[in-house]
Each structure stands twice: as structure tokens, then as C-alpha cells.
Amino acid sequence: MTDEKLYFAHETAVIDPGCEIGKGTKIWHFSHIMTGCRIGENCNIGQNVVVSPEVVLGNNVKVQNNVSIYTGVTCDDDVFLGPSMVFTNVINPRSAINRRSQYARTHVGKGATIGANATIVCGNDIGKYAFIGAGAVVTREVPDYALVVGNPARQTGWMSEAGHKLKFDEKGIAVCPETGERYALENGKVKKLTS
């Protein structure tokens, strides 16, 4: 386990041996960090959160209250996991059948946001800077910068890296109203323009 002086853990948090926890990370009330997981620097783990074995969280990941992050999940830097959202890791769970050897992997790309009470069905990767609306049930892969909502989740638009809905002109160009950054939509994919 990492030297506790490098991160903060509330006295009610349970941190199993064999975890890696980065500098500046905060772990709040009644959360359980299980053995073998890796949590990056400057993360915030809200109260009543479970981080299961072998989960990997990048730097600056924000995990709100009552979130379950199960084995098989990896999150890149700057991911936001909203209150009470949940990942799954078995596609066909049955109480009487042990399927630990069948855990599916789910990857969440850099800067993605998953809204409150959303469910991510295992094996469906979330692209970088994607935005999953509150209560959405994700049953398929989500592209970079995509905005998806509903049950099952359907794409309704595109989002900027700052979290604003993008409006593309007739040339397929959009400008983030907050940052002024420009984005291009080509062949059903969005990319940020560098100049």
C-alpha cells in the first residue's frame, strides 16, 4: 500500500493491502478500496464508493457518492463518474453460477463524463470526452465526444471537451462557446482541430 501521508483517507474508509493510491487523492466516508486496484493522483473518491480489485483509475478522476466500480473497469485521466452510477462486469449474472473468469472489460476514455444513476453494461467502451446523460443505460460502445441519453442510450449529439453541446455548420465545423476551440465532424466522427 502507498504511504498514507501522500493521500487522505477518512477514518471510516477501508483500504485493503496491495492498493496503489496516488499523491493528493482523497477517499471519503465508508468507501472501500480493494486490493490490487490502482488509483492515480489527485482523485476524489466520494462516500460509499466501492473500487474493486484490479480497477485502474487515472489522474484527476472524480467519483461521486454511491458508485460501484467493478473489476474489469479502467478509467483514463479526468473522468467524472456521477452519483450512484454503476458499472457491471458480467453480461449474464446468476447467483448460483460463479462467472469470475468471465468478467468483461470496460474502458472509459480521457475526460469522459458519466451522469448520475447511469448504468454501463460491461464490455461497452466509452470514448474520450463522451458525455453519458443522467439515468442512461449504455448497451453499446460510445464514440469520442458523443452525447448519449435514455434507456437504451442513444446518441443525440456531440460535446466539446469543456462539456458543451456542439452545433456544426454546413462545413462540419463547430466552436465550443466556452473555450473557442474548434471541432470537425467527418464521416460520423468528431475531432478537435489544433489550429
Task: Specify the pLDDT at position 59.
Answer: 98
Q: Domain residues of the chain, as ranges?
A: 4-162
Give the residue from 34, 29, 61 showing the smallest Cα distance to 47. Answer: 29
pTM above 0.75, yes or no: yes
CATH superfamily of this structure's domain 4-162 = Hexapeptide repeat proteins (2.160.10.10)
Task: Specify the pLDDT at position 5.
Answer: 67
CB contact set of 115 (below 8 Å; sequence gap of 6+):
82, 85, 131, 132, 133, 134, 135, 136
Instruction: For the chain, 195 residues long, give each residue's pLDDT as a single digit of tens.
Output: 544 469 999 999 999 999 999 999 999 999 999 999 999 999 999 999 999 999 999 999 999 999 999 999 999 999 999 999 999 999 999 999 999 899 999 999 999 999 999 999 999 999 999 999 999 999 999 999 999 999 999 999 999 999 999 999 999 999 999 999 999 999 999 999 986
Q: Which three cell numbers stand for residue 89?
A: 462486469
Question: What does the DSSP assignment read for 16-76?
Answer: -TT-EE-TT-EE-TT-EE-TT-EE-TT-EE-TT-EE-TT-EE-TT-EE-TT-EE-TTEEE-
